[in-house]
């Protein structure tokens, strides 16, 4: 809900602060008093084009601020969060627009800089301004389908799900066809590469093992003579181990004769243990470094083949087993490709059929809802002096390329203003007064559905009076029970229906200024009397004003 409007230095308005409440607010005043300035100011804050001509003469800039109270689940708050701006439930939403006299403008949302595009998107969620030049809200055909669905209580969730399933099946089929085509183009390569890797049968870690074996054999060839010489020093009847054992046996016989002899015997025992261990390690090294020319040649041939194939396929040697599996899988997929395509094509066909069935049911529901909406709007036209006009809701099939999650229908509201005249979109209506009344009829038929929480009607009663004006006032009052309305009006019948009445006047002095006043009951009665009688307010006009207010 719009709660406040603050204007500084806009055209004839020097300083103005207005507070709004729920229900129907009316704005009246003499022609030329400045009602359009108020609407231009509000439009500026909601993203309209900035014009330096709006800045009051002699001032550096004009500033317009608007504030809103929004429910916690309002989509405007979600939009702010999506754009990284603060917008907390329960806190006022404040939009400020600054226009400089030398050109340029700034937009602020809750004191944070924002783009004009975001301001415009946000404004469309907050306020609908209905007048002869309005191109949003009900005049935008892109929103008519959603409005009809809401009016008819039509649930599109199942169609959305089936459209998604059909789309996923189509995407899977496209991927499978692409993969099959690529595999078919590469069949000869796949078969050759798979056969080569199958024959080679590389194992994980094999290249490292072969490289280590080769390196050890090459070392063994170089170290064989030294290892043999060391073995001779240790082994044999004249080797070191044999001599140590002989010394130990001899010492063992006399070791108990002196402490030092016992210690010498213990040291010899330790030496024998270490020497035996050294002999074992030497034997193990000899085995590990054993040089076998035939085995070395075989290992080198295998190692070089694995490395060559890895280079050929531009992978690491350890990746060859996985590559072999991948190529085998591709060949298997190629063989099974036709069968897989048939299954996927069947899924696509089933998905399409299910979507078409659901969207056909949607179309039938929309056609029925369109008839009810047409009847509801038709009931509102005659009281609004549009009895010669006709309204219809077009529901027609879209080409397949435009089908979507909410069905395959195009929905648009059309009118014919005179008998025999062709039907045309709402935007083609020439008369601003007719357009506003058509919008009012639609709004009443649709109740609160599909619109912003605040609606502004600019001179909806233009060119009508009497019973028609009363009918407009009654419908505006009815509509204000579900949304906040602000109406610029010249009709006393409409003004009398308002829950708040703002009077706009222009004062002439050294500088012409426009001001706005919230009227109390007495001044409101006098203003409605003025609207009834003209320049000179008569007692009869005052009495009639009282009757209008009492009837409201």
For 176-229, the pLDDT digits (tens) are 888 878 777 777 788 788 888 888 888 888 888 888 777 777 676 666 556 655
Q: Which secondary structure element, helix H or strand E, spans residue 461, and what is its range?
A: none
Put simply, whether the predicted model's pTM sits higher than 0.95 gets the answer: no
Residue 148: CA count within 13 A, CB half-sphere: 29
**pLDDT at 206 (0 to 100):** 82
CB neighbours of residue 321 within 10 Å: 17
Percentages helix, strand, coil for the chain (3-state, rounded to 5) are 60, 15, 25
Query: Phi and psi of 408, rounded to 5°?
Result: -125, 35
DSSP state of 447: T
Query: Phi and psi of 222, rounded to 5°?
Result: -80, -30
Task: Give 133's pLDDT tier (boundaries 50, 70, 90).
Answer: very low
- Of 514, 232, 190, 176, the closest CA to residue 323 belongs to 190
Angle between the N-to-C axes of helices 259-288 and 206-234, in degrees from 0 to 180, rounded to the nearest 10: 140
CB neighbours of residue 303 within 10 Å: 19
pLDDT digits (tens, 9 = 90+) for 341-390: 888 999 999 999 999 999 999 999 999 999 999 999 998 888 888 888 89
Query: Phi and psi of 230, rounded to 5°?
Result: -65, -40
Rg (CA), the chain: 46
What are the E-state strand segments in 247-337? none
What mean pLDDT is reported for the chain? 84
Task: Give mean pLDDT, residues 415-428.
Answer: 84
Query: Going edge to edge, which strands form the sheet with 484-488?
Result: 127-130, 454-458, 484-488, 24-29, 500-507, 513-518
- Of the candidate ranges 39-43, 66-70, 328-332, 481-485, the one whose mean pLDDT is the lowest: 328-332
User: Which of 86-95, 398-407, 481-490, 526-535 ranks highest by mean pLDDT?
Assistant: 398-407
Q: How far apart are CA 311 and CA 313, in angstroms?
A: 5
pLDDT digits (tens, 9 = 90+) for 238-256: 677 777 777 777 777 787 7
């Amino acid at each position: 809900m719009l709660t406040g409007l603050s204007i500084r230095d806009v055209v004839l308005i020097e300083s103005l602060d207005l507070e709004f409440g729920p229900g129907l607010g009316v704005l009246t005043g003499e022609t030329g008093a400045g009602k359009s300035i108020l609407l231009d100011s509000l439009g500026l804050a909601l993203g309209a084009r900035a014009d330096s001509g709006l800045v009051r003469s002699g001032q550096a800039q004009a500033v317009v601020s608007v504030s809103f109270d929004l429910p916690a689940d309002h989509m405007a708050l979600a939009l702010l969060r999506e754009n990284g701006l603060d917008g907390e439930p329960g806190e006022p939403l404040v939009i400020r627009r600054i226009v400089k006299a030398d050109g340029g403008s700034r937009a602020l949302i809750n004191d944070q800089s924002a783009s004009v595009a975001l301001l415009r998107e946000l404004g469309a969620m907050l306020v609908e301004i209905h007048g002869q030049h309005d191109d949003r809200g009900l005049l935008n055909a892109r929103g008519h389908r959603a409005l009809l669905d809401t009016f008819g209580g039509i649930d599109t969730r199942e169609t959305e799900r089936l459209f998604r399933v059909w789309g996923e099946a189509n995407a899977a089929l496209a991927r499978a066809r692409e993969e099959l085509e690529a595999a078919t183009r590469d069949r000869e390569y796949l078969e050759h590469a798979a056969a080569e890797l199958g024959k080679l049968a590389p194992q994980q870690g094999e290249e490292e093992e072969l490289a280590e074996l080769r390196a050890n054999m090459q070392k063994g060839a170089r170290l064989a003579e030294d290892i043999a010489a060391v073995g001779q020093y240790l082994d044999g009847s004249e080797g070191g181990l044999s001599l140590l054992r002989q010394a130990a046996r001899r010492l063992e016989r006399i070791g108990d004769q002196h402490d030092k002899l016992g210690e010498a015997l213990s040291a010899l025992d330790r030496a024998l243990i270490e020497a035996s261990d050294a002999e074992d390690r030497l034997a193990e090294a000899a085995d590990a470094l054993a040089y076998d020319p035939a085995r070395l040649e075989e290992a080198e041939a295998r190692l070089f083949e694995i490395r060559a194939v890895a280079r050929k396929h531009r992978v690491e040697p350890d990746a060859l087993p996985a590559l072999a599996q991948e190529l085998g899988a591709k060949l298997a997929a190629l063989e099974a490709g036709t069968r897989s395509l048939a299954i996927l094509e069947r899924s696509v066909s089933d998905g399409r059929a299910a979507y078409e069935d659901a969207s056909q049911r949607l179309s039938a529901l929309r056609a029925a809802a369109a008839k009810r909406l047409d009847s509801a709007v038709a009931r509102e036209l005659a009281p609004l002096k549009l009895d010669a006009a006709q309204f219809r809701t077009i529901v027609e099939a879209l080409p397949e390329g435009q089908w979507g999650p909410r069905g395959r229908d195009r929905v648009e509201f059309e009118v014919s203003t005179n008998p025999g005249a062709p039907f045309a979109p709402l935007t083609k209506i020439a008369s601003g007064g007719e357009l506003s009344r058509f919008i009012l009829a639609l709004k009443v038929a649709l109740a609160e559905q599909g619109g912003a929480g605040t609606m502004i009607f600019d001179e909806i009663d233009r060119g009508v009076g009497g019973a028609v004006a009363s009918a407009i006032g009654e419908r505006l009052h009815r509509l204000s029970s579900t949304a906040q309305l602000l109406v610029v009006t010249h009709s006393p019948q409409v003004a009398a229906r308002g829950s708040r009445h703002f009077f706009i006047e222009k004062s002439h002095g050294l500088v012409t200024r426009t001001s706005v006043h919230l009227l109390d009951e007495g001044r409101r009665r006098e203003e409605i009397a003025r609207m009834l009688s003209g320049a000179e307010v008569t007692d009869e006009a005052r009495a009639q004003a009282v009757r209008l207010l009492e009837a409201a």
